[in-house]
Structure 1
Amino acid sequence: MAKVHFIAIGGSVMHQLAIALKHKGYEVTGSDDEIFEPALSNLRQAGILPASIGWDAARIHTGIDAVILGMHAREDNPELIHARELQLKIYSFPEYIYQESKNKTRVAIGGSHGKTTTTAMIMHVLQENKRAFDYLVGAKLEGFAQSVNITDAPLIICEADEYPASAIEKRPKFHFLHPQIAVLTGIAWDHINVFPTYEIYKEQFAIFIRQMESGQVLIYNSADPELVNLVTATGGHLKLIPYAIPAHTIHHGITRVSFGEAATDLEVFGDHNLLNLHAAKLVCNELGISNEEFLAAIATFKGAAKRLELVARNEYSVIYRDFAHAPSKVKATMEATKQQFPDRKLVAVLELHTYSSLNAGFLAQYAGAMDAADVPVIFYSKHALEIKRMPDLAPELITQGFSRNDLRIFHEREKLEAFLAEQDYRNTNLLLMSSGTYDGLDFPSLKNLLDK
């Protein structure tokens, strides 16, 4: 029985991998200096919650086969130091995923946007077609108990993140997955705390392409000229398959997509989701699933959590919650909502929550991102700035960055709630975009806005 120890087991994805390995029959231990819900309850239920909180070098011994190091751990972590002293095998999360999937067909979905939804679409179709597969995805998906699963299945589907792998391995996570089939959804500068220039950021995708072995499959978004140039320059050794927005119609708020003679109505919408769907279809085709089988399955796909997630609706209004935070994601999500409901007013609320979005030097990247909104609203929390040890953000800098003088800007949740309560939602949609929580906004209660 393999013995695996997790340093920083409480991470949102780390604890899911720990549980998956426990289910596989491994002996799993772990540590962390803080563990929050839902990881706390999930680990307790799996029987691998650490007996005490904090780091302890005594947990590390020569009987451990692998140490998996989470992003939360630092280089001076006493358990990491002792593991190095004992010359144990130390892996970042993606490095270990590769170790577990060396003998599998590996599919990796990378890019600056659309990774989670594209991955989720592929997983949904494979499950509907009774295929056995492992997976790694960055969101809770309907029909899947966990966000990570490692078994003896011959196939693994991975959302491929470009963020650094661990405290001691600064290279992007997706450089360690070595897929035989890959998707790149597009390139739009993000994570400026890690990649201070666009050129450095773009180079990570070039490395990813160059690392793929000759003849392997790269499915790429042909609607992104920057990505097309990169693939043309670096991907000549690969089987290249471009994709674009497929043929579709929108009627009474329902999108219908077709590939040849096969067609189906969808529960998701927007050009960005149609691009994601086309990429997912091409992956599934490579895995032996026909267009007809794909469309029959994708018809029941409801989307990933917080990706145009329905909060409430009535006959004249809809409230959506979305994870969009980077400029390209914000623009795509808003345009999708406006395109699907062209005759409705759009109240759009974006929370600046990430390091990039709260950085005054990055705000110019948002120019035009909120143009589709009839009522554009920006929220940022002073608490988020304090946690990230960043200076206060002047409202005039936000206005200038977004190039809209009619922005409504709030930094107190109560004032944002009051503003939303004042709006008339007849023939109006509300879209809330954030990777955070608006400083504790009660999303289920928002349905009361439609009762007026």
Structure 2
Amino acid sequence: MFNIPSPANIKTVHIVVICGSGMGTPAAMLQEAGYLVRGSDENVYPPMSTFLASRNIQIKEGYRAGNLEPPPDLVVVGNVIRGDNPEAVAAVEQSLDYCSMPQALHRFFLNSYQSVVAAGTHGKTTTAALLVWLLTVAGMDPGCLVGGLMANFQQSYLLGRGPYFVVEGDEYDTAFFDKRPKFLHYQPQICVLTSVEFDHADIFPDLQAVENAFAQLVTSIPPDGLLIANADDPGASRLSRKARCRLVTYGLQEPAQIRVEMAKYGVGTTRFNVSGPQGFEASFNSPLAGAHNLSNTLSMVSLAHELGLDPGTIQKTLTTFRGVRRRQEVRGEPDGVTVIDDYAHHPTAVQATLEALRPFYAGRRLWAIFEPRTNSSKRKVFQERYATVFDAADLVLIKEPPGLQSIAPEERLSAAQLVKDISKREVEAHYFPEVDTMLPFITSGAKAGDVLLIMSTGSFDNLIDRLLEELNKRPA
């Protein structure tokens, strides 16, 4: 039955789609908390399979009713699982207790902390990681679950003993039996709202539906809670007015309580001055590139100010912050070619990332190598918008999106047409049907000093590792 027993009555937990995004890490958290964890998945491969194996978490390949033998005390169901999945059917027929992962996260972990939720269409992973590192530097020993590997910890979660638990809030639906956004289960005491734009076209029909989801989050913050909202983002600014709690705004351009008075984006660094309430003024240096990362940083500064932390703690947080995997992550510099891995996929994120790297790597040729892979980016909803976001690049390479057969032909993004439209803006662009033809084009054309920004939410057919291998073969 749809129910979560008291944690004291649970010993064994079975997770359906244990290797899925957002499932493997909570599985490790549950194990570290003392539960016997096992699971099943039909896509069992590295790195998640090896990560779980290193924790001695048993994985059954494929979905079948027999995987629930012996019966676990709780079945946790991933949001990609449908109601006709054999294990979902068996859990219902056997009257086993089951729930979603967001519900389990709240019951087993968030209940013991003050919940700090980082939410928004863009920037929530980096923002969450910054908040975690701030609290760590301040000696507050936070718990957390972040949607990317935090380089400072070499993992994406912490079971801290301090008062706060930082969680990245996802607006996707929860499970086949609960279509509410995941972040509603996290019951924030403090919430950072970075941005609200249309995305996730597979579950949201339009921008209004997206805004409705975020409005539920904003209004769920209790009156004694805190909302920290981006005044520069129209959606976040508009929805912040619905809050029942205290509101703190931050911004680079629009009037805000925590605001940037000066920003200089240079090679390898960003310098900026900030002002705020109670005569707050400070100057900082950040290793993070671009205005979008400065905005993320301002949300961290806002929380620090609210917690009464001094500018020295904020600067130490920035100086020692090592970033998040796949967020402007430099994977290598073979033969003088800088190879960067980034998760950007929404048009706004692609444009912001390219515009950030242009001054950060001033005077160098910037390649934009993009695989439209998400359910939204593979659809024509962003066809015209994508054509306008690559202007900061010197050279653009677009790969045919994978899995287009699952989308109606009239709804599909045309990568070939996108390349034509980019070229009309006087930016050199090339279309590739697969990585096997793209790779030799890159290796033959990349020169010392070039910066290769590779953007995908997936493995990109292992392009980066293959590219690094080929570039390392070049004679010194």
Look up the match of 1:123: 132
**Once structures 1 and 2 are overlaid, which stretch shifts more, 114-123 or 347-356?**
347-356
Alignment of 1:429 onto 2:447: no
Shift of 1:340: 2.4
Which residue, out of 462, 468, 474, partners 1:444?
Answer: 468
Which residue of 2 is the match for residue 359 of structure 1? Answer: 379
CA positional deviation for 1:450: 9.0
Deviation at 1:308, TM superposition (A): 0.8
Cα distance change of structure 1 residues 287 and 8 upon mapping to structure 2, 3 Å threshold = farther
Q: Which residue matches 1:248? A: 263
Superposition map of 1:298-309 within 5 A: 298-309=318-329
8 Å contact kept, 1:367–1:401? yes
Q: Are 2:319 and 1:319 aligned?
A: no
AA at the equivalent of 2:302: L
Q: Deviations over 1:75-114 (max 9, x none)?
A: 1223323333454442211111111212311000000010
Q: Is the 1:40–1:49 contact (alpha carbons within 8 Å) kept by the matching residues of 2?
A: no
Alignment partner of 2:454: what SS? strand
C-alpha distance in structure 1 between counterparts of 2:83 and 2:34, whole Å: 30
Q: Could you tell me which residue of structure 1 aligns to residue 76 of structure 2?
A: 68
Distance 1:432 1:300 in 2: 25
Q: Aligned residues, how many? A: 447
More strand as a share of residues: 2
Normalising by structure 2, report the TM-score.
0.85
1:392-419, CA deviations, whole angstroms, 9 ceiling, x for partnerless residues? Answer: 7545532466584653111221321222
Alignment of 1:222-237 (within 5 A): 222-232=231-241, 234-235=242-243, 237=244
1:414 aligns to what SS in structure 2?
A: helix
Amino acid at match of 1:171: R
Aligned residue runs from structure 1 range 369-380, under 5 A: 369-380=389-400
Look up the equivalent residue of 2:249 and give its one-letter code: P
Instruction: State the secondary structure of the residue aligned to 2:141.
Output: coil
Amino acid at match of 1:309: E
**Equivalent-residue separation in structure 1 for 2:211 and 2:421 (angstroms):** 23
Partner of 2:103: 95
Look up the match of 1:112. 121
Does structure 1 conserve the Cα–Cα contact (< 8 Å) formed by 2:419 and 2:430? no
> Quick check: 2:15–2:75 contact (8 Å CA) kept in 1?
yes
Residues 155-174 of structure 1: pairs in structure 2 closer than 5 A:
155-174=164-183
Taking a change above 3 Å as real, the CA distance of residues 446 and 103 of structure 1, as seen in their structure-2 partners, is same
Kept after mapping to 2: 8 A contact 1:363/1:401? no
Q: Cα distance, 1:273 vs. partner? A: 0.6
**Deviating more after overlay: 269-278 vs 422-431:** 422-431
Q: 1:240 to 1:451 in 2, by over 3 A?
A: farther
2:442 is the alignment partner of 1:420? yes
Counterpart amino acid of residue 384 in structure 1: G
Match of 2:246 among 224, 228, 239: 239
Aligned equivalent of 1:81: 89
Contact kept, 8 Å, 1:350 with 1:379, in 2: the verdict is yes
The aligned residue for residue 290 of structure 1 is 310
Verify the 8 A CA contact 1:16 1:147 in the aligned structure 2: yes
> Aligned pair in 2 of structure 1 residues 275, 87: CA closer, same or farther (>3 Å)?
same
C-alpha contact (below 8 Å) 2:190/2:221 kept by paired residues: no
1:440 deviates by: 2.6
Structure 1 residues 313 and 37, CA, compared in 2 at 3 Å: closer, same or farther?
closer
Paired with 1:149 and 1:296, the residues of 2 have a C-alpha distance of 20
Q: TM-score, normalised by structure 1?
A: 0.89
Unaligned runs of 5+ in 1: none
Q: Are the aligned partners of 2:14 and 2:38 in contact in 1 as well (CA < 8 Å)?
A: yes
Moved more, 251-260 or 87-96: 251-260
Query: Aligned partner of 1:266: which letter?
Result: S
Gaps of 5+ in 2: 1-7, 253-259, 275-279
For 1:426 and 1:68, how far apart are their aligned partners in 2? 49
SS of the equivalent of 2:385 reads helix
Q: For residues 375 and 433 of structure 2, what CA distance do their matches in structure 1 show?
A: 16
Distance 1:252 1:36, change over 3 A: closer
Q: For residues 256 and 53 of structure 1, do their structure 2 counterparts lie closer, same or farther at Cα, with a shift above 3 Å needed?
A: same
How far does the alpha carbon of each residue in 1:164-192 deviate from its partner, in whole angstroms, 9 at most, with x for none?
11232222111211100001111121110
**Offset at 1:153?**
4.5
**Structure 1 residues 230, 91: closer, same or farther in 2, change over 3 A?**
same
Alignment of 1:330-409 (within 5 A): 330-381=350-401, 383-386=402-405, 388=406, 391=409, 394-399=414-419, 404=424, 406-409=428-431
Residue number in structure 1 paired with 2:277: none
Indicate conservation of the 8 Å contact 1:164/1:171, yes or no. Answer: yes
Deviation string 1:348-392 (CA, Å, 9 cap, x unpaired) is 1221112211212431232411121222221224x4324x45547
Structure 1 distance, partners of 2:473, 2:314, is 38
8 Å Cα contact 1:421-1:449 kept in structure 2: no
Q: 1:14 aligns with which of 6, 14, 23?
A: 23
Equivalent of 1:45 in 42, 46, 54: 54
Percent of matched pairs sharing the same residue: 30
> Where does residue 273 of structure 1 map in the other structure?
293
| Cα shift at 1:295 | 1.3
Cα distance change on mapping 1:429 and 1:180 into 2, 3 Å: same
SS in 2 for 1:147: strand
Q: Give 1:252 shift.
A: 4.1
Give the match's secondary structure for 1:214: coil
**Contact 1:313-1:450 at 8 Å conserved across structures:** no
For the aligned residues, what is the CA RMSD? 2.8
Partner SS for 1:249: strand
Structure 2 distance, partners of 1:106, 1:17, is 16
What is the identity, as a one-letter code, of the residue corresponding to 2:404? L
Counterparts of 2:81 and 2:433 in 1: how far apart (Å)?
31
**118-127 or 55-64: bigger deviation:** 55-64
SS, match of residue 378 in structure 1: strand
